[in-house]
Every structure is written in C-alpha cells, then in structure tokens.
Amino acid sequence: LSDRFFPYAAIQTDAVLSLDEHTSISTSEVDFAFVVWRSFPERIVGFPTQSHFWDPEQRRWGYTSKWTNEISIVLTAAAFYHRYYHSLFTEYLPMGLRELVDGLAACEDILMNVLVAAVTKLPPIKVT
C-alpha cells in the first residue's frame, strides 16, 4: 500500500489528487477541492474524514468516522496534497512504519496524515 506514496518521476505537478478505485466525486467537487488546496498547499485537502481519539477504557488510540465538526484525518481516498510528501513518506518515515502499513493492508492514509501533521503542525482541511 505504501507504494501509492512513492515519489514517481512521472508526477510532475505539485498537486497530487489521490483517489481510491471506489471513490465517486464529480468534476466540480474536484475543481473546488483543488482551489482550496491551492490556498493551503502544505495541507491535505479532501472529502472523507475521520477523527482520532484516546480510548481510556482500552488504553489505546482509536478513530471514528462519526459526523462531527472536528476532524483530524482526511482520508487519501479522495484528497489533494503536495507531491513533496511522497518523498517524505518514502525517505523520512522509518521503514518499520511502512512495513506495518503494508502488512496490515490498511492505514496508509492515517500514516500520511500523521506525517503531514508532524511536519506542518497543521490539521487537514475537509471540503464538502
């Protein structure tokens, strides 16, 4: 899964539109998200969101897709972000984290959000 964030030479634009195969959005939604991303190119800008939280009963982190006004994760199933993050994901993150994501066959979008938030100290932006 982490190969989707490899810094391929064929990606020559600063903006990367990441879409999963089951994502369905209109061209006007893509256009709007791109306009928002151009104003905030250091952030992940996209549609499906989740929020992370600390579960004191289970003593671990969790995440939810419940509809709230506060979000902490924009899923890369439909999101714009800067291509620079491909290089950071591949070259900066410890190999063990990428191997964990690949082994789980999930959570690569969470890892990307954590990476971007760690670098920018900013949350993602949800567009509707």
Residue 46 near residue 79, CB atoms below 8 Å: yes
Q: Which residues are catalytic?
A: 109
- Alpha carbons 98 and 118: distance in angstroms, whole number: 16
How many residues are given for the chain? 128
- Alpha carbons 52 and 42: distance in angstroms, whole number: 21
Half-sphere exposure of 13 (CA within 13 A, CB side): 9
Q: Identify the sign of the CA torsion 66, 69, 71, 76.
A: positive
